[in-house]
Amino acid sequence: MSLWLTLAVNSIALGGLLFLLSAGFSLIFGLMRIPNLMHGSFFMLGAYLGVTFLDKGVTFWLAALLSGVAMALIGSLIERFLLKRLSGQELPQVLLTLGFSFIIADLCLMIWTGDPWQPATPAELRGALQVAGLFFPIYRLAIVAVAVVVAIALWLLVDWTRLGAKIRAGVDDPPIARMVGIPVSRLFTLVFALGAGLAAFGGVVGAPYLSVYPGMDAEMLPLALIVVILGGTGSLVGAFVGSFIIGFLFNFGQAMFPDLAYVILFLPMVLVLVLRPQGLFGKVVS
Amino acid sequence: MSGRAPRLAAIGVAIVLLLTLPAWVANSYYVNVASQILLWAVAALALNVLVGYGGLVSLGHAALFGTAGYTAALLLQAGHGHFVADFAAIGFTLLVSAIFAILSLRSTGITFLMITLALGQILWGIAYRWASLTQGDNGVNVTTRPHLFGISLATADAFYYAVLAAFALAVISMAIFVNSPFGASLRGTRDQPRRMNALGYNVWLIRFLAFLFSGFWTGVAGLLFVYYNQFISPQIMALQTSAEILLMVISGGTATLLGPIAGAAIVVIMKNVASAYIERWNLVLGVIFVLIISFMPDGLIPGTTRIWRYGWQALRARIASARSVRRAGAS
C-alpha cells in the first residue's frame, strides 16, 4: 500500500514538473509554431543555475525565481536576435535550436562537470504531512501546488487578460493583428521568454527530486514532446492533463517494468497519434 | 552538351580515385577515415530522400541506423551467422521504418519532425534502459567481420572496398530513384501535395514508400557502421547522431546527389580533426549549426559560392568606385 502511495505521490510531483516544462513548450510550439529543441536545455541550464545560486546561500524559492528570470532573458535574446530572423522557416529554426542545445549541453558539462548535483530539499519543505494515517512528503506536494498555481496563472493570462487576447490575436492572424496595432513580434518574444523562464524554474524546483546531471536535457525534451503530442499542441489544458498522464506512466512503468519504461511512455502517444492525431485537447487545424 | 563533359570527367576522376584509394593513401588510418566518410554518406543520402526530395525532416534516423546495428550485433552475439544477422537486421529496420512512417506521416512539417524525434528517443531509451536485452550502456561487441566472396573483410583495405561497393550501389539506386517517375512524384508531394492529390496520386503512399527506401539505406549504413566499429552502444542512437546526419545533408545542400556525400566528407573530416585537438566536438557541432544557419541557410556549398560571389562583386564594385573617384579627382 505505502509503495503504491509513494509512487502515486511521486507521479503527481513529476507531472507537476512536466507541466512547468511543457506548458512553455506547448505555447512556443503550438502558438508560435517554433520547434524549440532547446527546451530541455533550458530546463537543465536553469537547474544548474539554480543549484549554483543555492550553493551561494540563496534561499530555494529565490534561486528558482532568479534562475527563471535569467533563463527568460537568455531565451528572449536568442529569440529576438536569431530565431526572429528565421520566422516561418522551420528547418533553419530546428537546426538553430538544435545547435544551441549542443552548445548549452557542452558548456554545462564544462562548467558543472559530469557529476550529478542534487541540492538538499529546502528545510521548510522537509518532512511529511499526515492525513488519515497516510504520510505525504511536503516537498512533493509543494511541487504540485506550484504547478497548479502556475497553470491557473497561465490560464488566466492567456484566456482572461488583455495581454492574452493580444497574444491569441497575434497567433490567429499576425498581419491583421499588426494592423490593429498589436506588437506581435514583441509579444512573441515575451511568450518565448516566459516559456524559457518556466522551464528553468521547473528545473530548479525539481532539482532536489530529479537532481541535475548531463544528458538531462535529452531526457526532458522527449518527455515534453510526448506531453504535447498527447495533450495537443498549444493547449494548456492538454499540457496539464498530458503531464500528469506521463508522470504516472513514467513512475509506475519504471517501478513495474524497469526495462520497458520508455516503451510504456510511447504507448499512449501511439494511441493518440492513431486515433486522435491532433491530441486529446488539440484543435483541428485546417 | 559542353557543360556536361567536365562534370562527367570529374565523376570519372572521382571513381578512379575512390577505386585506387588504398593504394595511394597507404596508411590504414586514412583508409578507415575514407570508409567512415562513405558509410556516413550512405546514411546522409538515405536521409536526403526524405529531407531533400520529400520535404520531410526526420530527426529519428539515428534510431533506424542503430536498430540495424543492434539487431545484427545481438544476433551475431547469440551465435547466428553473418548472413542471417544481416538479413534480419535489414528486415527488422524496414519494419521499424514502416512503424515510424505510419505514425509520423500522420502529419508533415514540424509535427512530423517532432514525432520522429520522439520515436527516435524512445528507441534510444530502449537501447539504453533495456539492459537485459541490449546490455545497456556497456554496448555490444561484434567479434568478427564477415567474408565476402571468400575474402575476409578484417583488414582496413578489404573493408574499405566493401563499403565502397555498398556506397556505389546506394548512389546508383539514388540516381535511378531521382530520375524515376517515383522520384518525380515524391518531389511533387513536397512542392504541391494538394495538386498531387487532386491529380490522383496517393500522397501518403508515396511518402510511405520514400520512408521505407530511406529506412533501407539507413539500415545498410547502420550495418556497415557496426561492422566498421565492431561495437555498438546506445550513444549512436541519440539525437546527436540524427543531428549529425542532418548536418551532412544540409551542409552539402539538400535535394542534390552530391550534396550529402560532400556533407558527409566535411562532417567526418571535421569530427576527426576536431577530436584530435579538442574534446568538445559537441560544442563545435553546435557552433557550426548556428553559424551555417545564420550565414549560409542554403547549405555550405551553395552558401560558400554565394558568399564568394558576393565578396567578389563587392570587391569589384569597390575597385570600380575607387577608379571613378580617382578619375573624378584627376579631371
ipTM of the complex, rounded to two decimals: 0.79
| Nearest Cβ partner for B122 among A105, A221, A262 | A262
| Nearest Cβ partner for A90 among B109, B132, B240 | B109
Q: Give the pLDDT mean for B67-96.
A: 91
Closest chain B C-alpha to A208 CA, distance in angstroms? 23
**Position B275: which residue type?**
S
- What is the spatial distance between Cα A244 and Cα B15, in angstroms, rounded to a whole number? 57
Beta strands A128-131 and B151-152, pairing class: unpaired
Return the half-sphere exposure (C-beta side, CA atoms, 13 A cut-off) of residue B116. 29
- What is the spatial distance between Cα A5 and Cα B3, in angstroms, rounded to a whole number? 75
Q: Give the pLDDT mean for A193-210.
A: 93
- Across B177-181, B275-279, B295-299, the highest mean pLDDT is recorded for B177-181
In this prediction, residue B1 has a pLDDT band, given cuts at 50, 70 and 90, of: very low
Cβ atoms of residues A25 and A19 within 8 Å: no
Does residue A279 register a pLDDT over 80? no
Contact B290 A258 (CB under 8 A): no
Q: Give the pLDDT mean for A251-260.
A: 83
Does residue B4 register a pLDDT over 80? no
| Nearest Cβ partner for B106 among A37, A99, A273 | A273
> Hey, is the C-beta of B293 within 8 angstroms of any chain A C-beta?
yes
In this prediction, residue A286 has a pLDDT band, given cuts at 50, 70 and 90, of: very low
Closest CA to A262 of A249, A271, A275: A249
Q: What is the DSSP letter of A126?
A: -
Residue A279: phi and psi, rounded to 5, are 90, 165
| Nearest Cβ partner for A90 among B107, B110, B287 | B110
SS3 assignment, position A212: strand
> Hey, is the C-beta of A157 within 8 angstroms of any chain B C-beta?
no
Does residue A119 register a pLDDT over 90? no
- What is the spatial distance between Cα A35 and Cα A20, in angstroms, rounded to a whole number? 18
Interface probe for B, chosen from A25, A273, A284 (most Cβ of B below 10 Å), is A273
Count CB-CB contacts under 10 A for residue A161: 11
- What is the spatial distance between Cα B136 and Cα B138, in angstroms, rounded to a whole number? 5
* pLDDT cut 90: percent of chain B above it: 31
Q: Give the pLDDT mean for B45-68.
A: 92
pLDDT for A123: 79
Closest CA to A99 of B239, B96, B255, B162: B239
Contact A277 B132 (CB under 8 A): no
The model carries a pTM of: 0.84
pLDDT for B49: 92
pLDDT digits (tens, 9 = 90+) for A87-110: 777 778 888 898 899 899 999 999
Cβ atoms of residues A217 and A37 within 8 Å: no
- What is the spatial distance between Cα A144 and Cα A139, in angstroms, rounded to a whole number? 9
Contacts of B190 in chain A (CB under 8 A): none
Closest chain B C-alpha to A143 CA, distance in angstroms? 26
- Across A86-100, A154-168, B307-321, the highest mean pLDDT is recorded for A154-168
Please name the residues between 27 and 46 in chain A that touch chain B, using a CB distance below 8 Å: 29, 33, 35, 37
Closest CA to B215 of B53, B34, B38, B66: B66
Interface probe for A, chosen from B239, B240, B250 (most Cβ of A below 10 Å), is B239
Q: DSSP string of A158-175?
A: HHHSHHHHHHHHHHH-HH
Please name the residues between 67 and 126 in chain A that touch chain B, using a CB distance below 8 Å: 82, 85-86, 89-92, 94-96, 98-107, 110
Cβ atoms of residues B230 and B73 within 8 Å: no
Structure-model confidence comparison of residues B315 and A205, the more confident one: A205
Please state which of the ranges A26-35, B1-10, B164-173, B273-282 shows the lowest mean pLDDT: B1-10
Contact A225 B118 (CB under 8 A): yes
User: Which cell goes with A23?
Assistant: 506548458
Closest chain B C-alpha to A126 CA, distance in angstroms? 31
pLDDT digits (tens, 9 = 90+) for B194-250: 899 889 899 999 999 999 999 999 999 999 999 998 889 888 998 888 988 988 888
Q: Chains A, B: CB contacts under 8 A, how many? A: 122
Contact B57 A101 (CB under 8 A): no
- What is the spatial distance between Cα B260 and Cα B244, in angstroms, rounded to a whole number? 11
Sign of CA dihedral B18, B19, B20, B22: positive
Cβ atoms of residues A247 and A18 within 8 Å: yes
- What is the spatial distance between Cα B93 and Cα B72, in angstroms, rounded to a whole number? 10
Cβ atoms of residues B14 and B192 within 8 Å: no
